[in-house]
Every structure is written in structure tokens, then in C-alpha cells.
Amino acid sequence: MKTSIRKGDVERLVGARHWDPFSVLGPHVVEEKGRRFVSVRVIHPGAQGVALMRDGEEGPSRTVLSRVHPDGVFEAQFPGEAEIFPYRLEFTDRSGYRWEQHDPYAFGLVLSDFDIHLLAEGSHLEEYEKLGSHVIAHGGVRGTAFAVWAPNAERVSVVCNANHWDGRVHPMRSRGESGIWEIFLPEVVEEEVYKYEIRSREGGKILLKTDPFAFRCERPPRTGSIVCSIDGYEWGDSAWMEERARRSVLDGPFSVYEVHLGSWKRKEGEGGPYLSYRELADDLVPYVKEMGYTHIELMPVAEHPFDGSWGYQVLGYFAPTSRFGRPGEFMEFVDRCHREGIGVILDWVPAHFPRDSHGLASFDGTHLYEHADPRLGEHRDWGTLIFNFGRREVANFLLSNALFWLKKYHIDGLRVDAVASMLYLDYSRKPGEWVPNAFGGRENLEAIAFLKRMNEEVHARHPGAVTIAEESTAWPAVSRPVYLGGLGFTLKWNMGWMHDMLSFIAQDPIHRKFHFGELTFALLYAFHENFVLPFSHDEVVHLKRSMLDKMPGDLWRKFANLRLLYSYMYSHPGKKLLFMGGEIAQWEEWNHDQSLQWDLLQWDSHKGVQRFVRDLNRLYRETPALHETDFRPEGFEWIDFRDVDNTVVSLLRRGKDPSDCVACVFNFTPVPREAYRVGVPFPGRYVEALNSDAEAYGGSNVGNGGSVAAEEKPWMGRPFSVSLSLPPLGAIFLLPG
């Protein structure tokens, strides 16, 4: 048979270089020398033979295709047909095994021209609904639609088990200048493992890439994407979501338990080291509820290849890590949190991504997601690459990803990692190692614009959701609305307070009076931003020692100092965050490959700290004065911060109703103070609502018998005062009775 395929097209197909395979493969109406016929062309290098199966008026028929190239190009011509007709293909391999399937090249477009237009201009905020892999019915046939952005590719193929990972079998359709490639593979459904094989125009290099939009990935160290539908989960958190939209996090309690899911608790003596999402829902969620936290913050759960990155070097931006289970099981985990009244915050990492060859780096053989200039495109500190925020497709990829977690997984907030590295072009760079912006400055204008838009879209589309910046510099108005000139975050980590407090508390008590500035300095700027006070994972790794081990003194003093530190944190304006293990006074630094030291709870001292943190959270949630006015100057008053010699400070927190208040007194020395007078605003009795030195917490039980009466004796500028027994290295919280 004389083939109707041009020789050049055949050579490009078998060489896996054809940029427009749909113009050759599949059914085509051919007009040749005045005659019109249908030609069906197939490529399958692994096939010994191919036959076409069709239903006609006279019943089923089978036509064997002729091999027109030894590398597996086949064709059949139907002279009596002038229009394309439905058919199936029967393949036979060299062992004689036969199978049938629909021809992918007989199906039309999946993405509309309007989809392509929105994707190309970077305005499709649900990009994940179009790109990636999606199980659909197309032309009445169930299969998977694949689409990927690779504008500098010469050819892109889906490779998977169904085609024996041969890039010649299923080359994709180019959608022109948009740079998007698509194909529908009939009968390929969920659980199929796949990648994209990309031939770059730059030297014809062959790249094998994980799908940037995959909803599920293989468990590391394997790197394949998996076809997966994430629709269909029946959520039971409607009451939570409705309430979240009505309330403001700014004037409510916000106490966060930061968790690394892989090391909170490990299995022992079983096949795998990790608890699954369902097991975490059974164990972690009740624990967080019992401990009184309002939110869990999860260190990155998006798929990442390297355990040692703790999740901060992400490659599967749309896939919860398979280390702990399937996407639906992560939904169940979030749902369980919400049903128990616990919010879920995710660490989100748009600041950088790893260089892994199967990931985003040089995705189509060019610097697609990253800058080509290493002065703009590399983080040498982390050995990672920087997103090109000025490229509309890249910015839209990240923006749609942020919205994806909030919509599809009902996440309540995003804590954006390493914001400072995004804001400054000279971040951790020497002169000559960075490129100024268009105005000669050090500000990354494209990243700033991206962050502003991200915050605007999150707050507009998901009422009640929060965005939190880990930003370690004095960049102004990080947590102020964009329309007021800010970056638009809801909250910002107060890194300065954290460093000052840890420096102060690490001093031997006899020297603390010389470091009072570290204790009080944060009040000079406490209301410039909406701050979170963080004792995060970063403070208990890399030889920084655990929270307990940072404390000075003997064993008793270490525990007392830790309870005192937590007390001061909860009295200070700002929301709260504590990394897991801090609540049980873990001795060892955090290790991502090991479980927390839960066995320490056999000791009363550790059990006492855990009990204290639980009661501290309870007091914080039940006392409006401790959370309602975190970001208003009228919510905080010093009672006395001048008693340097005794190293005692006292303060007053007020709620929206000024009569709603709590007096907090802190003794930063190991010396009990008897008859220590403190000014208070109202007469009557004051209940000792919490005493960090209580015996139940492992303390010496110095206190005030549960309450103390105010005397009409002016003190410290107040009309009334109380005479207190101050516990050593202790804190007391007094509520008007």
C-alpha cells in the first residue's frame, strides 16, 4: 500500500520530534488526485501488529493496518469512506498478547480557546482545573486529559505504564503560542503513574518531568505523578466554615501548635515509620484539642523529595505528600480538625524550589519557572532556585496554588515561609552578586506585587482565612491591607521579640537586671504590625538546643524558667505559636527522623509543663483581656517595669471592655518575694487564676492561697494595690473576682 503520510512526518514521529502529531496520527480525510478517502495512522513501536475494529451496517469488521515504518508506524486507508467514523484499535505485541483501546488521536480538543486565552495571559485562578491530569468523559469515553505548560519544547509526550514509558507512543498536541500541550488518553484512569517526556528545542535534550499540577505523587524516593481525582469527598465542616467567615482572628484567641507530621509521633515495630493521615486524625487532633490550642500549623505537606528539607523544598505543589496517605485522607484529617474546633494552617513556600532534575528546574530545557541569571534565580544559602515572579504564567501558577489549598482542602490559612528572601534582591548576597530593580533599588518589585495580589485574592475569595508572613526584617506594613500601602498579610511573625526573649531568659538570673531592655524593647513596636509570637522549629535545631535546654540553672530552675517564659509569652500582646515538643519540655533538639520524646511524660516535671501549657491555653482562650486587644495600645499597660534590682515586672492586659482585665506579675529570679506590692485598677478580691509555680506543674507552690484582696492603698500610679507572695522564677495571673 502506498502511504499517504509524508516521509518527513514519519521520520519525525519515529524520532520523537514531531511538534504536531495530531496532524499526522489518528483519522484523516485525505484528498489525493481527485479521490477522497479516510486514512487512519498509528504509532506504537512495541506493537507487532495493529488492527482497526469498527461497527458497520453489516456487522463488526476488522481491518489490519499496514506497517509503513519498521519502528512501529502503521496505516490503513478506507477508499469507500469520505467522513471520519468511530473505531477502536487492536494491538498485538511480540509475545502474541492482544488488547483493545480507543485511539487518542481520534479525539478533539479538551481545552477551549477561552481556557487557552486565560491560561496564556495568567488570569486563570483555577489553573489546576485545566492543567495537570483529570479523569473525564470525552466523546462518551472515560479516560484522562493531560495538559502541561512547556513553551520551549519541541515535543512533549505523556509516558506511563499504559505505553511502556515510550515517549514515541503518545506525543501531545501543541496549543500554539500559549506553550500548552494537551492530550486525552482513553481508558487511562486513576492510579496510572506518569510523567512528561519533553524534548527541548535547546539541543534536543530529553527531559523526564513530574507533573507540576499533579494531585498525587509516588512516595519518595520515587518521583512519578499519579492520576488522581480529588473531587467527591463529603465534607462535614460546614458549621466551622460558616463560623470562620463571620469571626475575626485579630480579636479572637489564636494559639498555634506547630507540627511536623513525620516526627510528631512514629510507629514502633511496624512496617512503616510514619503515622498515616487517618492515624494522625485519631491521635494528634484529640491531643491538640485537649491541650487547648486553637490551630495546628503544619510544616509543608506539599510533596517534597528530600526528608531533610522538612518540606521546605517543594516539587509537588498541588499534592499532599504521599508519605502519610492519599489526598482524600488528608481531607479527612482537615475535616476532623474542623469538627473538633481546630483550624489548620499550612506552611507555604513560594520563595524557592529545589534543583531536582525531575522537577521545575529547567522544565522545558530553558529557565521557565526560574530566572536565567543566577544573580536573580539562585538562593546559594539553600542551594535552591527562585521563581521568576515577573513572568505572568509563573505568578499565576503560584497564585492558583495558594487558592487551591484553601478551596479544595478547606485550609484556614497559609504561613508564607522566607518572605524576606522574596522582598530583597540583595538577600544574603554580597555587592556584585545581585541585580538592582528598574529604579536602582534592592526591592524585588515583582515579588512584592505577587504577594500583594496573593493576599488580596485569598482574603476576597476565602473569608476568615489568614495569611501569615515569616518576615525577619523591618519591612513596613507587612500586616496592613494593600489599599493602605501594606503587603496585605493578616499576621506577621515577631522574630525580634523571639530573639530578645530567648536571649534574656538564657541569662543567669543574677545578670538579668542588666538585660531588661531585651525584655521590654518589643513594646516599643508591638502595635506596628499584627504580630504572632513564635517559638518555632527553627529555634530547636542546628545546635540551638531544645527549649528546656536553653534555660539556665539546675534541673529545677530549668523547668521553672521554661514555665515562666511561656507565661510571659501568653501575657504579651500578640498571637501565640509553640513548636511541638516544647509543651512536654523535650530535652533533645528536634530531629525530623525521630518521634518526640513522649517517654519523658513518665516524669512529673515534664508532665507538669504539659499540664501547665494546657491550663495556660485554657486561661488564654477564656480570658478576653488576653486576646481581644492584641493589636491595640489600649489593650496593654505596664504596671511596673522599673524594678530592675528585684528583676520583677508587672503588666495589665485589658479587653475591649476596659473593666475586663488581668494583672500579670513575673519574678525572673529564683528568690521568693514576700509582701511584694503591685498596683491594681479596681477594689475587691483578685483570683489567682494561674500560678506557674503550682505544685501540680512541678513548682514549689509559693503563692497567694487562690486569691488576694486589694487594699485602698495607691501604688505605682494606681488607686489600689495588692500585697503578693511572688514565687521564685514564677508568674501569676490575677483576675478581678
Active-site entry in 470, 471, 518, 688: 470
Residue of 680, 681, 724 whose CA lies nearest to 706: 724
Residue partners of 340: CB distance under 8 A and separation at least 6: 285, 286, 288, 289
Count of positions (residues) in the chain: 737
Q: What 3-state DSSP class applies to 255?
A: strand
User: Catalytic site residue 470?
Assistant: yes
DSSP string, 286-305: HHHHHHT-SEEEESP-EE-S
Query: Across-strand partners of 100?
Result: 90
Distance (Å, whole) CA 223 – CA 216: 11
Query: Across-strand partners of 711?
Result: 721
Q: What 3-state DSSP class applies to 385?
A: strand
Distance (Å, whole) CA 74 – CA 91: 11
Query: Across-strand partners of 344?
Result: 296
Cell numbers for 526: 508591638
Q: Give Dmax over CA atoms of the chain in angstroms.
A: 113
User: Catalytic site residue 500?
Assistant: no
Burial group, residue 33, by CB count within 10 angstroms (0-12, 13-18, 19+) = exposed
Residue of 727, 723, 654 whose CA lies nearest to 685: 723
Strands 35-43 and 26-32: antiparallel
DSSP string, 387-440: B-TTSHHHHHHHHHHHHHHHHHS---EEEETTHHHHHBTTTT--TTSS---TTS
Distance (Å, whole) CA 327 – CA 225: 13
Reduced 3-state DSSP string for 192-253: CEEEEEEEECCCCCEEEECCCCCCCECCCCCCCEECCCCCCCCCCCHHHHHHHHHCCHHHCC
Q: What 3-state DSSP class applies to 154?
A: strand
Q: Calculate the alpha carbon distances from 455 to 258, 332, 466, 534 in Å.
A: 22, 26, 9, 21
Distance (Å, whole) CA 190 – CA 333: 22
Cell 503560542 sits on residue: 177
Handedness of CA 434, 438, 441, 444 (dihedral sign): negative
Write phi, then psi, for 508 (nearest 5 degrees): -60, 135
Active-site entry in 197, 364, 378, 417: 417
Radius of gyration (Cα) for the chain, nearest Å? 32
Distance (Å, whole) CA 617 – CA 611: 10
- For 685-688, the CB contacts below 8 A with 24+ separation are 685/709, 685/710, 685/736, 685/737, 686/710, 686/722, 686/734, 686/735, 686/736, 686/737, 687/734, 687/735, 687/736, 687/737, 688/732, 688/733, 688/734
The answer to whether 560 and 692 are in contact (CB under 8 A) is yes
The separation between CA 687 and the C-alpha centre of its own chain, rounded to angstroms, equals 42
Handedness of CA 681, 685, 690, 692 (dihedral sign): positive
User: Catalytic site residues?
Assistant: 417, 470
